[in-house]
Amino acid sequence: MQQAVPARGKPQSGQICIVQGSLCLCASHFAADGMEISVERRIRGAVGLAEEISHPNLITLAGNWENDEAIYVVEEYASHGDLLQDSLSCPEK
């Protein structure tokens, strides 16, 4: 059974968490309309990095896609946020 739960931490443009058994995924929606180029680059950079690395202590990227309206990212749920949220909240890093 799937159930949607509110995301903890700082929400993105749109975020929903899905729990199915022991698997917990978070789907984030980043609206393309009005998105700054620097934000888009950080999103693409974080997704690119997540696609290339795999480690038990790192958040797993389950998938991503985009269309003209938005970029969508589905990843393992992290209660205190993830690398992308950290990158967007602290651009000087």
CATH value at residue 16: 3.30.200.20
Structural domain for 82, as ranges = 2-89
Tens of pLDDT, residue by residue over 15-31, are 677 777 777 888 888 88
| pTM of this structure | 0.65
The count of structural domains within the chain is: 1
Joined together, the tokens standing for residue 76 give: 């393992």
Higher confidence at residue 70 or residue 23?
70
CA distances from 69 to 29, 41, 80, 89 (A): 10, 16, 28, 22
Helix (H) or strand (E) holding 39: helix 37-52
* pLDDT of res. 23: 75
